[in-house]
Structure 1
Amino acid sequence: MSGQVKSNGPERRRGHLIDDKRRRGISDLDERPTKQQRITGPDDQDADLSQPGLIPPYNCKVLPKSTKDPPLPHLKPGALSDAVFTHASVADGKYKGTPLATYEQLEFYGDAAIEFISTRLIFHNFGTLLTGKQSTLRQSIVNNKTLAKFSKRYGFPDKLKCTQMLRQSPQWEKTCADVFEAYVAALVLSTPDGFSVAERWLTELWMPLLPQQAENTVGISLNYKDELQRKIGGYNVTIKYEKINDPILEAAAARGGQEMKVGVYLTGWGCQRQEIGQAVGIGKTEAGILAAKDAFERKDSAMNEIVEKKRAHDAKRKAEKEAKEHG
């Protein structure tokens, strides 16, 4: 199709667009007449929607935490800034028929940008979390309540052109969040380095929230099962993970709860299906890893005896191997 953005290899590597699904909005805009791709603002400033900013390598891993909000990145007067603060209820038709008539198209784009930026932040800074915990952490910083707070702290609602009825409606908080998303989109689209500007600003906004969130998010290594295997595993030694029936958790599960208790059982080193650890987690996978963590970190007499038996066994085999080699 003429004018459609192609998802070829070189363009994907240059990072022009966020992903195939979410960038269809921009692809569709490119299919419109050329005169609608470049929209002139009040000061003869053009908003070129056909050239979104590049996505650079991640470089926001270490940022100072501050109790103050970072400065608001400046958005020059023009079609983009007008659209950010224009609700459909009062659109005057100045940009009618274009993607910048109201903030709605920008909010669609900004929602995807914020999701992607928050994903990069968590992926690079909380990489040892299970994906379910990463998703929970991401949701805590991109939900409407959080974005609406940011929007209000920068005075966005006061700048929004809308009806008084909307300001008094139950949808007002979501509207404030939508305006924030639209502002992020405008930043990304306004200059070639717009993505980097938006990412650094958002990261600085989110950083004060992350330590508290991280404390409430189980940070567990995906390697605890492997570590436990190396610690006490061996020939004819089995380590099994099995669900433990718990009446309280079963009752909660009937109401939609997802927590589960899992135990770790060892057969070998003189043990016969001996429980060496247990834990509760969200789903069997997380509960199993936490149970392995519990077993790995135990230092009671039973675990010490198991570790000593493995150590003695490994030392004997090593001595036998060396004697054979030098035999």
Structure 2
Amino acid sequence: MKGRTVVCTTQSEAEAALVAGLLEAEGLSPTIERSPLRSVFPVPIAFFGQLRVTVPDEEADDATRLLRRFETVPSSGPKVVPLHDDLAPLEAAIGYRFRDRGPLEQALTHRSRAHEDGTGPESTNESLEFLGDAVLGFVIADLVFEEYPQSDEGQKSKIKASLVSYTALARVAESIALGQHLRLGRGEEKTGGRHKPVLLADACEALIAAVYLDGGLAAARALILRLLAPLLEETRARGLAVAGAGDFKSSLQEYLQARRQSPPAYRIVEQSGPDHDKVFTVDVAAAGKVLAQASGRSRKEAEQQAARRALEALRDGSVDFDDAARR
């Protein structure tokens, strides 16, 4: 019977699947073997034992050469290939060190990558987005409740919405260079997925969920307050004025009316995602010119963010209505 050589050992399901996918893509025959260790606790075996990626002995040299492209293999031979050390800079950026990097790896894995690797939807960050959205919403709602006790429900809701919007989360993701760590399929990579606000916002929610699963609610709350600190300071500086400032559509219409321009017109240019998690991309135009474009989880949110960007463009001089009118 032919033997097999271990080329990678890990406790991460995602990493084992990634290594196996890389080897299969090169025509090799990897197998993921689980530790025989058993547990009475209802958690994945990877928490307690090792996962080993093996190949037939005759493929060991080829597998080792392939994996060296991603990480240096110890000189003693093909034993362990630690692919996840590249996540250390991200841990430093968020101020949190994972005890188990499995949830973190999943939080960074877009469905386009999972589709190519053949690991299935359970290995993508979509379910973590759902959990992260709930954890984020709870933490921010609790914060708003404590800091704005005199405001009414509508004001509280608008303050919360300004802090958990796609735009806010994309800003947070950019501040920690989250896009550099996303695990994307080749198609998504080619279309600039690392810089798409929607993908960044989704990954930010998934990251929050990963910290929650690894360290609990206290760790997740500390992370949220740390990452959103600049936005929170902006909100505190404006006070309850932020509740009114959230209606960017009204502000844009007033701005245009004051300059005798036609009202803004909004148009959906794209819808993506499953029915339960749609993403809308909307542009806003006036005087025959598109002023801005933005995305959101609802048409209303996308329109509000497009109006906000349009106001910014008008106020900083990026748009000249006199020129537009002459055309």
> Where on the TM-score scale, by shorter chain, does this alignment land: which range?
0.3 to 0.5
Q: Which one has more relative contact order, counting CA pairs under 8 Å at least 6 apart?
A: 1
Kindly indicate which of the two structures has a greater share of residues assigned to helix: 2
Larger Rg: 1
